[in-house]
Amino acid sequence: MRTPLTLLLMTLAAASLNAADSLRAGFATADLTPPLGVEMGGFGYNLGRAGDGVRDKLLARAAVLQIGARRVAIIGCDLGGISLEHTRRARALIAAATGIPPESVMLGTTHTHSAPIATHWIGVGKIDQQYVEGLPARIAKAVVEASKKVEPVTMSWGAAAVEGVARNREYPGGQLDPQVRVLTFKAASGSVAGFIANYSVHPVVMAQLTHLFTGDLAGASVNLVMERHPGSVGIFLQGSCGDINPIYAHMPQDESLQKLDLLASRLAGSITQAMDGSHPEPASSLSSALRPIALPQIVPDKDVVIDRLRTAEYTLKQANLTPDLSGYMRFRADSARAAYERFNRQPLDRWDTEVQAIAVGPVLIVANPGETFVQFGLATMDAFPGRKVMVTGYTNDYVGYIPAKDRYIVHPDSELSYPAYMTPWLNGEFRFREDVGDVLVREMVAVGQAALHGASGASH
């Protein structure tokens, strides 16, 4: 016969077990803002575009989620991209300090072009080695602090339409990311502890004529929402924006600042609408999966690379080159030299990298290292009907553009596609095979399925 005391102890034990298996989360940030004078990445060849002020601090924004003994870390950094080498260094530091397994750390970047270069870009900004070498420790600091703040939370999911923010720059009037998706985490008090927003748009309102460090549209929009929820931390997971620009870009600095305020307010309004209309989601399970992948490449004729190098070097020896021509030819020489050295690294016909997924209850976050066209992100979401899905690019590594197949078609009377043919030189790499987007979608679906099946660690 069960006595009242026995029943009380059983109830308390069940409550304790349920509490241990409930979702807990902690959020924190770390400052990534560089010293003034460090060059930014993007918008032309060897422009010398150095930061001379700060509009808003560049941040590493971290969430640590925990259910029982399982923990994951999700990080969004106000950076243009990050290399796999530095991701692995950050993961090692995080694992040593917190015990979170490296394969359960997802390190995303927003792709702002108003931050120092943190990946292997060539000719679009000078890399500050001291700054880059210090990034893993700064990023790890955000996760360590977040791990100290874990508390019981409830999780809700919401989505809202985004209007008047983005345009398709490859296909005028073409496909856009129709919604911003938001995960909101509330503490027991009812206050917002943190949120994760996911949308596809290049953060390039601030462009080649601006010299202020800023998280641009991604950072500015979540900062506005954070102001409405004091004490919260907002993370922006960039989506599939390879062909998506903001409606305003490439303007003088004063005008760019005005337009950034306008677009950030619009996007923040959509994030807020998604949060206000969100619905609680059960979060009784937490899993992650990491999947090594190989993206197919086309090996070029080595003589073509050598000719590019020799032609650029010859041109650079000529007198009276304009600054623009000199900068462009230095880019051609440096990128050709890197591509020539690429022939010494096997295998020649693929780029080895990784995809990753984290599943929290019915919510799935799938990450890839590419600058993918929006169609591939939407296709990946469609592969998981009934699930709440975020697809984020520029994460854990940077492999450049993942264009649609038609961008590889060569028209005799047209320039070669910038995403398909020009940007591989920025990485000192060979171009991708035409079906690379389809390959990446299959790999993202596979890693997402692994996470949903409860995989923890590397999956093949």
284 Cβ neighbours under 8 A, 6+ residues apart: 21, 22, 23, 67, 361
- What pLDDT, on the 0 to 100 scale, is given for residue 44? 86
- What pLDDT, on the 0 to 100 scale, is given for residue 437? 98
Per-residue pLDDT tens digits for 392-426: 999 999 999 999 999 999 988 889 999 999 999 99
197 neighbors 162 (Cβ within 8 angstroms): no
- What pLDDT, on the 0 to 100 scale, is given for residue 111? 97
Q: How far apart are CA 372 and CA 79, in angstroms?
A: 17
Tokens at 242, concatenated = 């390879």
- Quickly list DSSP for 329-346: HHHHHHHHHHHHHHTTSS
Residue type (1 letter), 222:
V
Range 328-349 burial, b when 16+ CB lie within 10 A, else e: bbbbbbbbbbbbeebeeeeeee
Q: How far apart are CA 196 and CA 235, in angstroms?
A: 5
Q: Is 16 helix (H, G, I), strand (E, B) or coil?
A: helix
H or E stretch covering 198: strand 192-199
Instruction: Please classify residue 165 by burial: count the beta carbons closer than 10 Å to its beta carbon, then call 0-12 exposed, 13-18 middle and 19+ buried.
Output: buried
Q: How far apart are CA 352 and CA 354, in angstroms?
A: 7
Q: Is 147 helix (H, G, I), strand (E, B) or coil?
A: helix
Instruction: Please classify residue 364 by burial: count the beta carbons closer than 10 Å to its beta carbon, then call 0-12 exposed, 13-18 middle and 19+ buried.
Output: buried
- What pLDDT, on the 0 to 100 scale, is given for residue 2? 53
Place of tokens 């080895």: 352
Tokens at 57, concatenated = 């601090």
Residues of the chain with pLDDT under 70: 1-20, 455-460
Q: How far apart are CA 273 and CA 278, in angstroms?
A: 8
239 neighbors 391 (Cβ within 8 angstroms): yes
